[in-house]
Chain A
Amino acid sequence: MADIRPRQNNLGIAGWIWAGNYKLERYLYILHRVTGLGLILFGIFHLTATTVFRVQGEAVWKDTMAFLDNPLFRAGEFLVVVAFAFHALNGLRLIIQELGFALGKPIPPIYPFKDAPRRKRLLTLIIMAAVMVLVIFFFIDFSAGGWG
């Protein structure tokens, strides 16, 4: 009898990059993951800056703020806000779908089939439009405040 082995289809981290036939939603899943990891890294940096340096008094705080007040950190700060806007709104989409809302009524599986991602595409596009509006708003906001 032939030895039956499970298919070795676990691609690990490399599997994050190739979305195959899943297209948009799968890339959003990867972006959700990457922005999440980025926000954790920023959170650690931010927490250290606002605790260790803050409790040491006004002079240390002012020095820290002066050090961070440059175009590189301002651009980084903008990217963090963009990552947050995407992660929060895409997370909202995931919660809405996981709880079964906005999925439409069940339809019989008649050819040509309409797959699940395409049935949810409108919600996805609305959420991504909202992300774009927020990104534009924050770009104007950061530009008005100066880039360092």
Chain B
Amino acid sequence: MKNTYLQLAQMVSGALVAVLLGIHIAVQQSSVILGFFGVRVADPLAFSSMIERARQGTWVGIYISLLSLGLFHGLNGLRNILLELNFSAATMRVLTALIIVFGIIFLALGTYAPLVLLGR
């Protein structure tokens, strides 16, 4: 039953990541895309543009949501691949624990930067 819910969560998180990552990529490429149509915008990779986005709660919300959902989707996908390799139940428990710890560390690291920049 647990794996059924995980599979459902994998599908839902995948759909949400596709939307949020699509927004992220569109913004990063916006100067080129809009430049093609003759509209000039600031380089999204410039420090000033990045800080401007980092000070807006909406963008911080989008980035933290993308990070959380992306980590879940990626690491649960990795666990699904490992499950197919027929490790013993004990080994799989250790690997699952390692994946969870890895996810928590990267979630903390990825959340720290936007929150620090939001306060600047």
Contacts and interface: CB of A to CB of B under 8 A. Distances in A.
Interface of A: 10, 12-13, 33, 36-37, 39-40, 43-44, 47-48, 50-52, 54-55, 58, 61-62, 65, 81, 84, 88, 91-92, 95, 98, 138, 141-142, 144-145
A42 B25 CA distance: 14
Contact of B113 (A13, A37, A50): A50
- Size category, B interface: 20 to 34
The binding surface of chain A is classed by DSSP as helix
Given A43-B70, A88-B18, A92-B18, A55 B106 contact: no
Contacts of A61: 47, 50
B45 A65 contact: yes
B98 interface: no
A17 to B, nearest CB: 14
Nearest to A137: B33
A55 B47 contact: no
A47 B117 contact: no
Nearest to B108: A51
| 9 closest Cβ pairs, A-B complex | A51-B113, A88-B18, A145-B32, A40-B74, A58-B47, A91-B14, A61-B47, A55-B113, A47-B110
